[in-house]
Structure 1
Amino acid sequence: MVTLLLDSTQLEVVLSVSERALSFRKGNVVIERTAISKVQLTDDAWTWLRGIPSPGTHVRGMVAMGTWRSAGGDDFAIIRRHRPSVVIDLDGHPEFQRIILTTRHGLALVQALRVEGAEEAVDVVDIAAETGTIPVVPGKKTRKRGRPAPAPAV
């Protein structure tokens, strides 16, 4: 799970060791708050991918991590399965035009980006805990299978 740190000047996407390895990235992604033009929540981040991973890892429907290059610009993606995600459009960022992240804290991130005056870096989960409950998308319900009907007697 991606860790997001937000302060009054920047949003930092802190990558775990495995995320760094799969995205072929040495460091975290740092985004100035002034470069963020729009933040959108989505249920399926796969529809937002454009271009090809270069460098990055892509296993269709399972994982997409790294830089995605296209004619429209470069995107950075950390996507796991079909889970709720956030799409951050950037304007004037030196590396990327869009960041696509799978996170269950997307609503908290949107709320936190509206908060002004935070002096030190705060984890988005802590902000969500202060502002209310963290919404969680319910998982798929499992179907109960009944016993097969006995074969008719002949």
Structure 2
Amino acid sequence: MVTLLLDSAQLEVVLSPIERALSFRSAGVRVDRSAIVKVQLTDDAWTWLRGVPSPGTHVRGILAMGTWKSSGGADFVVVQRHRPAVVIDLDPSVGVGAEFERLVLTTRHGVALVQALQLEAETEAADVVDIVAPHSAARPRRARAPKVAPATP
């Protein structure tokens, strides 16, 4: 799964070596933070794919990685099986060399990304989970009342 790094200026999608090979990219994707228009969480990223892989890898229902081109533009996709994902809509006119209109990424950290985008980020890039951790208050767990067996006469 991709790693999401965020700082005050940009969001970076860090790809593993296998993800780079399957998506035909030599490096991850960097997006200006100001270019992020909307972030949506989804349980089925497959419904968000549009266009055809160009270049990219597609094994139906198992994985989709790379650039998906359609008449509307280009999306960057890293989807693995039917896992939770995040869909990030971008404004292509913002940022130098903005190449994508949307990012569709399978990640367990979608909620952390949404929360991290609402916080003031550090100048140094950090994982979105690490950014959110100090700000989330751990709720104490309530102790369950012991079950009492009915009295027998």
What's the C-alpha RMSD, in Å, of the aligned pairs?
Answer: 1.5
What secondary structure is seen at the aligned counterpart in 2 of 1:65?
Answer: strand
Pairwise mapping of residues 27-106 of structure 1 onto structure 2 (< 5 A)? 27-91=27-91, 92=93, 94-106=98-110
| Superimposed CA distance per residue, residues 55-86 of structure 1 (whole angstroms, 9 cap, x where no aligned partner) | 00000000000000000110000000001000
- Tell me by how many angstroms 1:122 deviates: 1.0
> How far 1:125 moved relative to its partner?
1.8
The answer for the alignment partner of 1:123 in structure 2 is 127
Q: How many residues align?
A: 134
Cα 1:33–1:21 shift into 2, 3 Å: same
SS of corresponding position for 2:68: strand
Aligned-partner residue type, residue 110 of structure 1 = V
Does the residue aligned with 2:27 lie in a helix, a strand or coil? coil
Q: Percent identity?
A: 70
Report the TM-score when normalising by structure 1: 0.83
Structure 1 unaligned runs (5+)?
134-154
Superposition misfits of 4+ residues, deviation over 6 angstroms:
none
Residues in 2 aligned to 1:131 and 1:72: alpha-carbon distance in whole angstroms: 38
Maintained 8 Å contact 2:121/2:131: no
CA distance in 1, matches of 2:78, 2:135: 26
* CA shift digits 1:38-66 (9 cap, x unpaired): 00000100000000000000000000000
2 CA distance for matches of 1:102 and 1:128? 19
Which TM-score applies when normalising by structure 2?
0.83
